[in-house]
Chain A
Amino acid sequence: MDLVTPGFGLVFWTTITFVLLMFLLGKFAWKPIIGAVNARNKSIEDALKLAETTKEEMKQLQADNEKIIAEARRERDALLKEAREMKDQLITQAKKEASDESQKILQAAKQAIENEKKNAIQELKTKVAEISIEIAEKILAKELENKKASEDIISNSLDRLTLN
């Protein structure tokens, strides 16, 4: 029966020891330990939350970047197109100008040739007239000396003279 009868001494000392232990551990062990664990949990939670918001921001930033890149691409395309058009226009204009100029030069050359030709014919006509007069002069002189001889000279001269 002793085994199941609480002894007063042990009850007394257990109570004192346990109360003291609970007080000391509560103040100097459980409170700082639980406090530190809670603080650490909170800091981890905060860090995770921060990571989440940063990720969200990154996503936003990426979307913005993509938008900017798309814009830039579109602008570049527009610029390229404009440049190409301008180039085409320039080429056509240059071609047209060049052909005009060549036409003009050709025209001028034709004109010059025509003029030269006219001049040459005029000069030839004058020369022929001069030669004719000279011949006529010589014939006339000869005729006056020898009718026969003058006739030969005229025919010879005319044979040698070729007109083209």
Chain B
Amino acid sequence: MAYNTIKRSFFAVSVLLLLSLFSIASEHVNAQANHSNSEKVDVNKAIFDHISDNHDWHLWDVTDADGTVHAVSFPLPIILINTNPFSITTFMSSEFHHGHSPVTKGKYTYVMHEQKIYYADAQGNLTYDDKGNIINNTPLDLSITKNVSTLFLAALLMILIFMSCAKAYKRRPGLAPKGLQGFLEPIILFVKDDIVIPNIGEKKHARFLPYLLTVFFFIWILNMMGLIPFFPGSANVTGNIAVTFVLALFTLIITNVSGNKDYWKHIFAMPGLPLWLLPIMIVVELIGIIAKPFALMIRLFANITAGHIVVLSLVSLIFVFQTLAIAPVSVAFVLFMDVLELFVAALQAYIFTMLSALFIGLAVQEHHH
């Protein structure tokens, strides 16, 4: 089956990408360890910072007359939940001064270290163990980070786009689509007629259509926003495992909640199987329930993150070689990668939606034995 081949190859690529990510992450630590040469730009750290979430929305850097570099950025709201006793603390991220100064609110003093917020002692110091790991406790961080605000922006954008599109149908009933409506209708119908209906079936597709349409456009728009290199884009939202985790979780829940008798029968009592094999098969099938959305989660995360890393690495070539002569090469390759990523943005949205529809379709289909 073509699907299995695609799935297998994607999984292989995902695993490879994951491994490469780990290696980058560890190199990043090494680079930090010998950070003595201040002239040299720490490329790994720069890339890692760009693909991770942020408490500020960084715009650009300015260098003062005395040579110190200041970041110009939008401050974003910090929302912290203290559990013992329960209380909510909110302030703007600018109070941290990009992690340079601790913030005291009530009886707690908070310190931001590499975008992570810790409870510090009264002087604003952190405690490290022998290996250099921070052992301070952390509050529950519900801050509106760069990714969260991009999420909101994308949601707002989608509501504006699709509600105006829906209004166009009300304004011109029965007429051929025009303008934005004319652009979106083929895409909506493509999702409906070529992704959802073939996988779920004409009879039952309507119930799952809102989720699948939303997830398709949500991923696509966020992927494309991530490709914009400056405000209000650049956030690596769909390349963040938390976001892909939630989306995959939705597919997992919808698949299993709407799974019919046949679906559960295939998991717990696969027909035509010798009885002694059943215990093994049940375990395999239960793993399968998790593995399918897990693959969805990893695939989207790895693809988008990989794209961001490649583009950032190509730009970083200029800093690695410390010459502007390499810039034309970087720009040419970045241009190529951006065009490719534009395609990947749509492709990943399509694959996520198609596989979700497939999993749901398998769970609700009627078997004829």
Binding site for B on A (CB under 8 A): 1-15, 17-18, 20-22, 24-26, 28-34, 36-37, 39-40, 43
Contact = CB atoms under 8 A, between A and B. Distances in A.
A13 B144 contact: yes
Given A18-B247, A34-B206, 20 more contacts: A6-B241, A7-B242, A9-B143, A10-B147, A11-B246, A17-B148, A17-B152, A21-B155, A22-B211, A22-B214, A25-B214, A26-B210, A26-B214, A30-B162, A33-B162, A33-B165, A33-B166, A36-B166, A36-B170, A37-B188
A40 to B, nearest CB: 5
Contacts of B245: 6, 11
B217 to A, nearest CB: 8
A57 to B, nearest CB: 25
Chain B binding site: helix, strand, loop or mixed by DSSP?
helix
B241 A18 contact: no
Contacts of B174: 39-40, 43
A10 B211 contact: no
Contacts of B250: 18
Contact of A18 (B51, B79, B144, B218): B218
Nearest to B161: A29
Contacts of A28: 159, 162-163, 166
A36 B155 CA distance: 23
Nearest to A28: B163
Given A7-B141, A28-B163, A33 B169 contact: yes
Given A2-B52, A3-B25, A37 B144 contact: no
Contacts of A4: 18, 21, 241, 301
Contacts of B162: 25, 28-30, 33
Contacts of A20: 155
